Amino acid sequence: MKILIVGSGGREHAIAWKIAQSPKADKIYCAPGNAGIGEYAECVPIGAMEFEKLAAFAKEKEIDLTVVGMDDPLVGGIVDVFESQGLRIFGPRKNAAILEGSKAFSKDLMKKYNIPTAAYENFDDPEKALAYLETAQFPIVLKADGLALGKGVLICNTLEEAKDGVREIMLDKHFGAAGNRMVIEEFMTGREVSVLSFVDGKTIKCMTSAQDHKRALDGDQGLNTGGMGTFSPSPFYTPEIDEFCQKHIYQPTVDAMAAEGRPFKGVIFFGLMLTEKGPKVLEYNARFGDPEAQVVLPRMKNDIVDVFEACIDGTLDQIDLQFEDNAAVCVVLASGGYPVSYEKGFPIEGLENLKGKEGVYVFHAGTKLENGRFVTNGGRVLGVTATGPDLKTARANAYKAVKQVTFEKAYCRSDIGKAIDEA
C-alpha cells in the first residue's frame, strides 16, 4: 500500500513510525512532514490545508490510504474533499469533526444526550457574557468556541480576570475567529485523564489511558501549551471508571453523533475530569492527541493500518485492540520562550546517542534539516518517549534519555509523571 499522512508534528511522526511497522505499508508520504518524519516517509511540500493539491497528489501517486493527523484540515473538511474524488481517507467528515471544531456544539450535544460534563452557557455577544459573569461563581472557565492550538482556555479566579478574559477572547480576538463565540463553564476539580478511541460510525474501541501536562512550567504553572509531556497508562483510571465511561460517555457520544446525522469515523479523544461526582467530559478532540499519541502508539500491539481500514469500512467490531502490559512517558523538549516567543535554527546535538536504543523513541515536532543537521524549527521541538515495565521506570528512562539531547535555550518540565508518586 501507498499511504499519505497529513501533518507535521510529533503526533504525525508517531503515526508514521507506527505505520512503518505494518507489512502493508510499501511506501509512506507525509505532507508537509518534518525532518524526523523523513526517516520513515517521503516528505512533500504541500500544506495541510491545501486540500485540492493534496487530493491531486494522492491521485498522481495512486495513494491507497490517507491518514489525517491534524485538527484544522479535519474541521475544514479534507475528508469530504477526498471522498468526493473517490479517495480513501481516515478521519471524520466535516459535519462530524465539529465535535472538536465547536465547543458550543459539543456542550449542547452532551446536554441533549445526558453525557456528564460541566454546567455551562454559550455566548456570541460579549456584553451578555460580561453580564452573566456578574452572577457567576469563581473560579470559572472561559473557552474560545473554535480551534486555538490547544490554548483557547482561560481559568479565571476573580470577576476582573474573567471580564478581561471575555475581552481577550471576544473583543481583542486573541485566538482569532475561534473567539467569535465562547463557552463559560463551571470549574471542575479532580484528575485529568485522556482516553483516545477508534470509531467506525457505530462501534468504539478505546485505546489505553494517558495523562497530559498542559502548562509550560513545573507544578502546572505558567501558560497553557500544546502539551509538555504525557504518561500512559493513568494509574487513576481504574476498571470501575472505565466501565462507567463506556456506558455513560463513550458509546453514548458515538450514538449521539449518529443520531444527529453526523456519524463519526476516525479517532475521538475524550478529555476527562475525574471529579468527586464521577467522570465528566472536559473536551472532545477529533484526532489523536499530541503528545498523547507519543505514549499510546508505542504501547499498541495491533497493525495500525488494519485498524484504520476497519474504521473506514465499519468493521471495527472485528478488531481485538491490544496494548502492551507496560508503561510509557514522553517529555517534550521545547524552545526557550515557548509558548510565547522563541528563536529557531539552533543545531540539535546528541540525537545519535538515542538512535536504535531499545525502548526509547524520539519524535520530532519542530525540527528541520539544514546542511545535513537537525535544527530547531518550532516551539515544541522533540518528544522524548521511553517505555518501562512500570510508570516509575519509564519516567526514569525518559529523563535519562532527555539529558542526552541538547540545543541552545532548550527547556523541559522536570515533573512529567510526578503524579505517579501519589497513585
> Rounded CA gap, 358 and 343, in Å?
32
> Rounded CA gap, 373 and 359, in Å?
24
Report the sign of the C-alpha dihedral through residues 174, 180, 186, 191, in that order. Answer: negative
Rounded to the nearest 10°, the torsion over CA 397, 400, 405, 407 is: 120
Strand partners, 28: 3
- Superfamily per CATH, domain 191-318: ATP-grasp fold, B domain (3.30.470.20)
CATH of the structural domain 119-186, one choice from 2.60.40.180, 3.40.47.10, 3.30.1490.20, 3.30.70.330: 3.30.1490.20
Which three three-digit cell numbers place residue 193? 485523564
Q: How far is CA 242 from the centre of its chain?
A: 20
Cell 504525525 sits on residue: 12
Per-residue pLDDT of the chain (423 residues; tens, 9 = 90+): 999 999 999 999 999 999 999 999 999 999 999 999 999 999 999 999 999 999 999 999 999 999 999 999 999 999 999 999 999 999 999 999 999 999 999 999 999 999 999 999 999 999 999 999 999 999 999 999 998 776 688 999 999 999 999 999 999 998 999 899 999 999 999 999 999 999 999 999 999 999 999 999 999 999 888 899 999 999 999 999 999 999 999 999 999 999 999 999 999 999 999 999 999 999 999 999 999 999 999 999 999 999 999 999 999 999 999 999 999 999 999 999 999 999 999 999 999 999 989 999 999 999 999 999 999 999 999 999 999 999 999 999 999 999 999 999 999 999 999 877 765
**pLDDT of res. 409:** 96
Contact criterion met (CB below 8 Å) for 252 and 235? no
Using CB atoms within 10 A of its CB, is residue 379 exposed (0-12), middle (13-18) or buried (19+)?
buried
Strand partners, 194: 210, 271
Cell 459535519 sits on residue: 95
Of 34, 31, 37, 80, the C-alpha closest to 60 is 31
Is domain 327-422 classified as CATH 3.40.50.1970?
no
Contact criterion met (CB below 8 Å) for 250 and 267? no
Regarding pTM above 0.85, the answer is: yes
**pLDDT of res. 423:** 59
Of 271, 250, 287, 286, the C-alpha closest to 98 is 286
Output b/e per residue, 157-191; b: 16+ Cβ within 10 A: eeeebbbebbebbbeeebbeebbebbbbbeebebb
Task: Specify the pairing of strand 89-90 against strand 65-68.
Answer: parallel
CATH classification (class only), 2-93: alpha beta
Contact criterion met (CB below 8 Å) for 176 and 151? no
Q: Is 191-318 in the same CATH topology as 2-93?
A: no
Q: Quick count: other Cβ atoms within 10 Å of Cβ 40?
A: 20
- Domain positions in the chain: 2-93, 119-186, 191-318, 327-422
**pLDDT of res. 418:** 86
Cell 505494518 sits on residue: 22
